[in-house]
Amino acid sequence: MVTVADGVHAYVQEPVGWCVNNAGIVVGGDTVLVVDTAATEKRALALREAVDALAPGPRRIVVSTHHHGDHTFGNHVFSGPHTLLVSHEAGPAELVRKGTALQLMWPGVEWGHTPTVLPTLTVREGVGLRLGDITAQLIHPGVAHTSDDLVVWLPERRVLFAGDLVFSGAAPFVLMGSLAGSLAALARLRELDPLVVVAGHGPVGGPELLTFTEDYLRWVAKLAERGLADGLSPLETATRADEGAFATLLDRERLVGNLHRAYHEACGGAPGARIESAPAMREMVAFNGGRPLRSPA
């Protein structure tokens, strides 16, 4: 747990990797705002214990920054008559469509009981909440990491919970969203002028996390442009790429998935349009030397 401002805490889970996400806890007045839950029942219960220790009252608002299971599988441990579950309006359909399919990728993880729980409130562009002396703005930045992204901005505290628009120390991932949309969203987040940025995964940072993510995505876009011109596949482009400063990122195999999205958009594909993820994931394993994708969840 990292206290990043008065009444504002980042619940940073370790070790960083696939399906090990961060959450947020904002305590204001008689209500606590929880930003995302966790991938496994055990991790979600530990998060709930942390919330109870900070704010034992029953009134909770749980905001999902997007539908991916590492951020939502634990929602059920918070559900109840005094809890409001909030997502973007595109989230429920994705929750129903995907269910717990993510768990099939890592059968060795002890997921526990993770039933799909739908939100009780959905928003389109965003909504403002008042928690005592803390304002929380829920903002949909457009199609970015997914089609149903929400970020949580606390203007008085200058704290931004960015969800998976930002990864800290790990490669970003836009296969299921939009590369161009992510860059546009990051520009919008920069205009907020955050002092603290809580990434969806990895250590807490500041606006430099936005810069690093932008640099990475622009690099991917240039790789895609060159790869298409040379008649290369996304995997071939990734294999030949000089990763430079990005070579030490965790989960670097995401480059292949990101190139699939970049190729799609460079050829006129719509942001957020569905791309078959299974072939891209298999190519990510190939890029990884045949080693399965690692999840420390």
pLDDT, tens digit only, all 297 positions of the chain: 999 999 999 999 999 999 999 999 999 989 999 999 999 999 999 999 999 999 888 899 999 999 999 999 999 999 989 999 999 999 999 999 999 999 999 999 999 999 999 999 999 999 999 999 999 999 999 999 999 999 999 999 999 999 999 999 999 999 999 999 999 999 999 999 999 999 999 999 999 999 999 999 999 999 999 999 999 999 999 999 999 999 999 999 999 999 999 999 999 999 999 999 999 999 999 999 999 998 999
Where do the domains of the chain lie?
A: 2-206, 216-287
> CA torsion 66→72→77→78, rounded to 10°?
0
Q: What are phi and psi of 170, to 5 degrees?
A: -130, 160
pTM for the complete prediction?
A: 0.97
**pLDDT (0 to 100) of residue 294:** 87
**Under 8 Å between Cβ of 213 and 187:** no
- Give the domain 2-206 fold: Metallo-beta-lactamase; Chain A (3.60.15)
H or E element that contains 61: strand 60-63
Listed in sequence order, the residues at least 6 apart from 108 whose beta carbon sits closer than 8 Å to its beta carbon are none
